[in-house]
Amino acid sequence: MITVFTPSFADEANTNAQNLTVKEVVSRLPPDSFRVILLGQGTPDPRISARKNTEILPCARHGNAVRWLRRVLFSKVDVYFFPRLGPLDTSFMFLRRSLKLPVALVTYIVMALDEMSVESAMEKSIRDGDLVFGNSRFVSQTIQDRFGVPAGTIYDGVNRQLFHPPVDRRPLGSKLTVLYAGSFQARKRVNIVIAEAAKRPDIEFRLAGKGEVENKCRALVNELRCRNVTFLGHISQEGLADEMRRADVFLFPSVLEGHPQVLGQAAASGLPAVAMNLYRPDFIVNGETGYLVKSENEISHSLDLLLSDNDLRLKMSAAAVKHAANFDWGKVARDWEMAFVEAVSKRRKRTYSQPIDTIEHRDGN
């Protein structure tokens, strides 16, 4: 039995991308082989609460980091998975190094590190990790280029039972819909989606999410007199899946990402997508399942192509669904199973034999 601790939350309502990933992985780890300890603030995901050999550490008003760290140290944890940047992670990595704890550190990086600033806690988790992974080939390459640390690739998966194409095709001649889903932050450039809506009053644009620039986006809609834009607010994963099935094209103009799960979910739902090539998402095959573009002009041109050609949309929709099968959560969870087993074996060799200077890695493709 391998015991895995992750500083991630089991809450059903928590839709943070990292927590969604962990919940999907944990719910699929075989309970006879893996004991899991994670955190909780509210009602847990029912798959997690029903899972055997699973412990959820509750939050208190004060002293959580100290209490959780104590639990990690005295619970015979084998793997510390997916460290973040909080005091719990920083304290654990300090004690692990100074006390030479026999706990394997499995680091998962979900943002491209080519241009962004990197906090010291993240750098330590990369340099000290027994195994390091990125969630796309490009993210993994940026880890290696920046730190000289080999990194494998294990993708964020797609729940294809939830995200799937509509059963019936939309009737010809019906109003087309463009969907955006994500937080309302400056880097997401939701204003670009609104600008495209202003050019196409006969196309419906639906925006799912909330965030700091939402009021500015609403003001822009009023300024441009866009009557074809609907703000959906924060919606559940089930609600997002429904929105994707009713849409025709997914538009995602964000310029700073790792490997956005919404692109994989859109593909599984049969949505051709237009996104930026800056972070080279593997969820999109350029020219086959959608378009990866370099400029705002290319966004507009690619959107025109998809909205004006029904046959092209249907062809790319079918290709997207087929491509999404490569990212099924069942496969991804098996990749993590193998990674945890390998990390434990590697850590034990380090702890009980001579030190190993190089960091081996595996590729989760």
Q: What is the pLDDT of residues 61-94, one digit of tens each?
A: 889 999 999 988 888 899 999 998 889 999 999 9
What is the pLDDT of the chain when averaged over all its residues?
92
Burial of 287 (0-12, 13-18, 19+ CB in 10 A): exposed
Is the dihedral angle over the CA atoms 142, 362, 283, 29 positive or is it negative? negative
d(CA 33, CA 17): 26
**Does pLDDT of 359 surpass 60?**
no
- What is the CATH number that goes with domain 2-157+329-352? 3.40.50.2000
Strands 131-134 and 229-233: unpaired
39 pLDDT exceeds 80?
Answer: yes
DSSP 170: P
Q: Report the alpha-carbon distance of residue 20 to residue 212 in Å, rounded.
A: 22
Q: Residue 134: beta bridge partners? A: 109, 153
| Residue 165: count of CB within 10 angstroms of its CB | 17
Q: Which CATH superfamily is domain 177-325 in?
A: Glycogen Phosphorylase B; (3.40.50.2000)
Q: Which residue ranges make up each domain of the chain?
A: 2-157+329-352, 177-325
Which of 28, 325, 331 has the alpha carbon at shortest distance from 163?
325
Residues β-bridged to residue 56: 38
The strand pair at 273-276 and 152-153 is best described as unpaired
Structure tokens at 313: 């949309």
Query: Is it true that 2-157+329-352 and 177-325 share their CATH fold?
Result: yes
Contact 104, 78 (CB under 8 A): yes
Cβ atoms of residues 218 and 247 within 8 Å: no
199 has pLDDT over 60:
yes
Which residues make beta-bridge pairs with 3? Answer: 35
Per-residue pLDDT reduced to its tens digit, 313-350: 999 999 999 999 999 999 999 999 999 999 999 888 77
354 has pLDDT over 50: no
Strand partners for 273 = 250, 290
Q: Is the pLDDT of residue 105 over 90?
A: yes
In this predicted structure, what is the pLDDT of residue 145?
A: 95
pTM, two decimals, is 0.86
